Amino acid sequence: MLRLLRLPWLTSIAIAAIFSYLVLLPMEYGQFALLPQLHTAVRAFFAAGAILCLLRKYVRISSGIMLVVAIVCGIMQRTIHHLPFALLATGYAVLWFSYVPRLPEIPRRADFSYGTYLWGWPVQQTVVMLGHVKAPLVVFAISAPTALSIGVLSWFLIEKPALRWKDRRIAWPSWMIRLVAMRSAKPVAPPEGATGVISAEQPG
């Protein structure tokens, strides 16, 4: 695997070929249903992300390219080729949104991203199950602020207090230290044909 990573172009071509065969080609012929074959689509686009990582110094992200991608995606909207273009355009839009716009920085003392990430999925499932909401944009509109709010509470009530303990040394009770030492000092099994018992203790 490490040898493949040293050949990024060859690895990327191989991943792209598999991606095209499993996902893009069936989409072109209308033989790919996104929801029933969602696991294949997710793996394929994860592989596409791996290609972008391998060739990241060659990938150009700009507003001009984003505009062209959006126009092409709009033109293909009413054709049988709309699904692969829509998915690829969405992936590029995520990269564009991550690197191009100058968004306000989140203060380092208040990092709500991890809690929001952890609670995002269960909140979405709760909205779908209890609210019987299936429209993706409606689910996002409800779950995003809810998950962010829980992420804020998680930061102040759980994560921030827990971080105060990361550099502290725990004073283990002496009986626990002796118990661990006794359990670690097990006798070594003798080799085949040997007689007697070989102790784990070395002669002085």
60 pLDDT more than 50:
yes
Q: What is the DSSP letter of 112?
A: -
Which token pair is 66?
């984003």
Q: Output the pTM of the full model.
A: 0.52
Q: Which helix (H) or strand (E) holds 200?
A: none
Which token pair is 189?
């099994």
Binning the chain into helix, strand and coil, the percentages to the nearest 5 are 65, 0, 35
**Tens digits of residue pLDDT in 95-146:** 888 888 877 776 667 888 889 999 999 999 999 999 888 888 899 999 999 9
**Tens digits of residue pLDDT in 4-29:** 455 666 666 776 676 666 666 666 55
Give the model's pLDDT for residue 102: 77
**Tens digits of residue pLDDT in 82-101:** 777 777 788 888 888 888 88
The ranges assigned to domains in the chain are 104-166
Give the model's pLDDT for residue 20: 65
Which token pair is 124?
């979405």
